Amino acid sequence: MASASKRRRIAWTDVAIGAAVSALVMLAFFLQWGDGLELKLYDVREKMQAEKQVGKDVVYIGIDDRSLQEIGSWPWPRSIMAAMVDKLSKANAKVIGLDVLYANPELNPGLVELQKLEKEFSGKKGADEFIFALQDSEHNLDDDQALASSLANAKNVVLPMVFVLSQSMANNTKAVPPEIGQNFLANLKSSGPITAASDFIPPYEPFAKEVKAIGHVNLGDSPDSVRRYYPLVVDYNGKLFPSFALQMLLAYYNLTSSDYSFNPGRDLTLGRAHIPIDDQGRMLIPYYKREQLPRFYFSDVLSGRVPIETFQDINSNNKMDTTWFGIPLEPFGFSRDARPHFSKPRFAEVKFALVPGTNMQTLHLQNSISLIAAK
């Protein structure tokens, strides 16, 4: 009898615990606690995976503190960006993403004064030679024209633009310039609660007309204000405008409108690749540690200071094989024959200056096992 009573007490305890858990789950649902918990778990997962390897197809050239010290304070003259575009183009970069929003003409007081002088002396007797000298100086000082020419010559630059996001779709009357309108995704119309925009800030027209593509750089909000979402498309007047990253991808693989499909709440399909997206057309951002990205200082690339690293692909699998701890299993080498010490050599140890003409560097392949034994 006592045993049966004890079993009933245990049963009622189980029911009470189950009811309490159910009540907490329902409370979390109505208060939307579950979304926050899911996002926090995503953060934990990304931190655990932050050291995952990144492919070498994308190289990041940063506008960093050292470059600011060597070149000068920001903003730099746009002729400097023109020189970088020229250098990357000559190096046969497949796509160049210039992630700086140039929405207006450059403020150039010297150029303005020269233009005033030209206007003042234009048509005056004996001023022809002076006018020609002014025009030559104007050409040299016109940084906007220099950048526009570099963009036109490269033919593979992607520029950013910004949309003003809104909570609901509306019929906006602001005219879309042709150089912007041609970037909307062809044959795809908005459906559902896609990230909507009510206005936009385009690149400066002379630049927008000379580039391969333009993409937006807006980020999506999270309930806790942490930037985790990236809208792959933005809805403007029922048409879908692609993101900067998506335009880079389309340009890199030379994809056309027949190569992709947009399925809100499921995925964005690009050829054989499937990018998961939510019903607003947003993807969760996969975060990496900066050290995992192939990256260089802007000033080093501009001045021709570069490193070389290579390895012997013994098993022909197109990658450097490593142990679980990241120790190379195949022979490798660096410029200036730099020797690693538990990690890759520092940039200062491997960089060398490129000079006009033939440049030669002799690399002796090294083996990590022999290096460890030699220490």
In the chain, the DSSP E strands lie at 60-62, 96-97, 157-166, 196-201, 213-216, 229-231, 233-236, 239-242, 260-263, 267-270, 273-276, 282-284, 295-297, 305-306, 309-311, 332-334, 352-353
Instruction: Tell me the domain boundaries of the chain.
Output: 32-298, 304-374
Averaged pLDDT, 61-89:
91
pLDDT at 116: 72
Mean pLDDT of 232-245: 90
List of residues 6+ apart from 305 with CB closer than 8 A? 351, 352, 353, 354
Give residue 194's pLDDT: 84
pLDDT, position 245:
92
**pLDDT tops 60 at residue 293:** yes
Q: Which pTM value belongs to this model?
A: 0.70
Distance separating alpha carbons of residues 219 and 101, to the nearest angstrom: 15
- What is the C-alpha separation between 53 and 13, in angstroms, rounded? 50
Element (H, E) at 75: none
Mean pLDDT of the chain: 76
Of 6-10, 95-99, 173-177, 196-200, the poorest mean pLDDT is in 6-10
Number of neighbours of residue 231 by Cβ within 10 angstroms: 26
**Sign of the CA dihedral with 159 first, then 162, 163, and 167 last:** positive
What is the arithmetic mean of pLDDT over 28-53? Answer: 62
CB-CB contact of 313 with 330 (8 Å): yes
pLDDT digits (tens, 9 = 90+) for 216-228: 999 877 666 677 8
User: Which single residue is written with the structure tokens 């030679």?
Assistant: 129
Residue 326 has pLDDT above 90, yes or no: no
| pLDDT at residue 357, rounded to an integer | 55
Per residue in 345-355, pLDDT (tens digit) is 666 666 666 55
Measured CA to CA, the distance from residue 365 to residue 332 in angstroms comes to 5
Lowest pLDDT segment from 56-65, 124-133, 148-157: 124-133
Q: How confident is the model at residue 119 (pLDDT cuts 50, 70, 90)?
A: confident
pLDDT tier for residue 375 given thresholds of 50, 70 and 90:
very low
